[in-house]
Chain A
Amino acid sequence: MQAVFCLTLFSVLAIVLQFGVVPAVAPPLIRPDFCLIFALAALVMGPREFGLVCVFLLGFVADMFGSSRFGLLTISYLLAAGALMGLTGKDMVRGDTLLGALLAIAGTLLAHGAYVLIGRAIGLDLPWSRAGAQLLGLAIGGALVAMPVMFVTGKLFFRIGMMDGAERETWLLRERASAAQRRRAARAGGR
């Protein structure tokens, strides 16, 4: 039930942000790929299997509206997720927001780099100049939004009990630390 709720929420948010808000509000140089960032946030913060399903589903969403060859973005997303999982593993991140955000930026570059390479190989119209500009926009956009997305996803997963293992431990410690800080502040205010 929680998984279905999260998948639906992420899909709707990604569609609204990616295809409704970003083209209207963001300047041309900032083009975050919300679909991939949400997917990688789920992969980093939640259970691995759920993360992979998220990557596939949000790749499908991105393909539906934003790919000139259907299926290619899903493949690129999965390849990037596989590479990140293989290279770093989840144990390295352990629910850390900053590391997760860095991983999301690297994932964006990996996934879209793969899209350009495969796309050029199958004859899509992707000149290097356009691809470079687009990748730059994606990286800048990713750098701006990855951190908040990671934090919000982590918070949501922690609250609804979607986290397990090392991630849950990290977030539990963080929650305890912030609760202790609040208590100290309240005590200092009381005096």
Chain B
Amino acid sequence: MRRKAGRSHILFLTLLFASLLLFLLPDEQVSSLRGRALSAVAPVLNSVRDWKPSQNLHPASLETPASPTSAPAAPAVVTPVENTSQLAQFAAEIDRLRAETITLRSDNMRLHSALPGAGAAPMQPNGLHADVISRRMLWQEPILAINRGSAHGIHVHAGVLHRNAVLGRIADIGPGAATVALTTHRGVSIAARLADCRQEGVLQGMQGVDGSERLCRLQIVGRECLAKEGEQIVTSGFDGAFPAGLWLGTVLKVAKSADVQWEITVRPACDESRVESVQVLTVDTPAVPWPEMPILKRRN
């Protein structure tokens, strides 16, 4: 008995040491490991998702985020619908049609560019439809798992949209699945612009003040900030992950954080709990070249 207890103590210490080694793994390896593990369990999570009977039942899942051009975001009016199953069917149908639209739009752009003498194709984000297979994972920062991965043409840091509003960026990726870090995730930063006053800055995730609602912060450098509460924030397109003009969120509060620095609290455009399917942008993130510096000639 004593020998057995001693053996389990040794095992306990060994496992504790092994877990310390896991703790010290570099982030790149963890990211790749997570992507692969998620890909491995994606079929199971997919079938659980398909099996769920109550999926999309929330009437709010039908709400489309207001476009940035529509002035101050009015509270969404939800019409009481008695037949919730019919509502769920409509929501699923809408998402299916959206996915079809995305595919058709991509085809259209491809064919348009192949036509001899045709002008530039209309600028629309080219993307891939994906379903959410997991969310709210214990202590994880705000992250969603989706059922598309590198095998489908998705790459790390690609932009993710939900009904044409920005949802986040791809964080970890495996062959058959990926995780999306939402705009409220502290590690995500997106180049943004205030829609009315046109000031630009960087949007990052932050914890809500009361701890319940997760918000974002937009940092702007400038002598003055003309942002107003309720103003819309859109992508500026400078980070290369998103085209310019996509809706990011709404200004909640404007505060001066330093002499020439402003911090704007932003409510994100998408509510993660209502997202069932997303659009992952498949355009390659362009490598921004350094501008060519003129060679200075010495005057001797």
Which residues of chain A come closer than 8 Å to B38, judged between CB atoms? 64-65
Please tell me if B19 contacts chain A, counting CB pairs below 8 Å.
yes
Do B55 and A24 touch (CB < 8 A)? yes
Task: Pick the interface stretch among B20-28, B66-74, B80-88, B220-228.
Answer: B20-28
Do A23 and B134 touch (CB < 8 A)? yes
Task: Pick the interface stretch among B9-17, B117-125, B291-299.
Answer: B9-17
Please tell me if A119 contacts chain B, counting CB pairs below 8 Å.
yes
Please tell me if B207 contacts chain A, counting CB pairs below 8 Å.
yes
User: Chain A 155-191 against B: per-residue CB contact (8 Å), 1 yes, 0 no?
Assistant: 0000000000000000000000000000000000000
Known contacts A19-B45, A65-B37, A71-B23; decide if A125 and B52 are in contact (CB<8 Å): no
Please tell me if B139 contacts chain A, counting CB pairs below 8 Å.
yes
Within 8 A of B (CB), among A107-152: 112, 115, 119, 125-130, 133-134
Interface residues on A, range: 35 or more
Q: With the chains together, A70 CA to B134 CA distance in Å?
A: 18
Which residues of chain B come closer than 8 Å to A71, judged between CB atoms? 19-25
CB distance from A171 to the nearest CB of B (A): 20
Do A23 and B137 touch (CB < 8 A)? yes
Within 8 A of A (CB), among B98-144: 133-141
User: Chain A 29-40 against B: per-residue CB contact (8 Å), 1 yes, 0 no?
Assistant: 001010000000
Please tell me if B157 contacts chain A, counting CB pairs below 8 Å.
no
Q: With the chains together, A24 CA to B133 CA distance in Å?
A: 10
Do B12 and A33 touch (CB < 8 A)? no
Give the secondary structure class of B's interface: helix
Within 8 A of B (CB), among A59-85: 59-60, 62-75, 78-79, 81-82, 85
Most buried by A among B5, B48, B186: B48
Which residues of chain B come closer than 8 Å to A21, judged between CB atoms? 48
Please tell me if A52 contacts chain B, counting CB pairs below 8 Å.
yes
Please tell me if A92 contacts chain B, counting CB pairs below 8 Å.
no
Q: With the chains together, A72 CA to B22 CA distance in Å?
A: 8
**Looking across the interface, which residue of chain A has its beta carbon closest to that of B23?**
A71
Q: With the chains together, A128 CA to B19 CA distance in Å?
A: 25
CB distance from A186 to the nearest CB of B (A): 39
17 contacts between A and B (CB under 8 A): A19-B145, A20-B44, A20-B48, A25-B54, A66-B138, A66-B139, A66-B140, A70-B23, A70-B30, A70-B33, A71-B25, A74-B23, A78-B16, A125-B186, A126-B139, A133-B212, A134-B139
Interface residues of A, Cβ cutoff 8 Å to B: 12, 15-16, 18-21, 23-25, 31, 33, 48-49, 52-53, 55-56, 59-60, 62-75, 78-79, 81-82, 85, 112, 115, 119, 125-130, 133-134
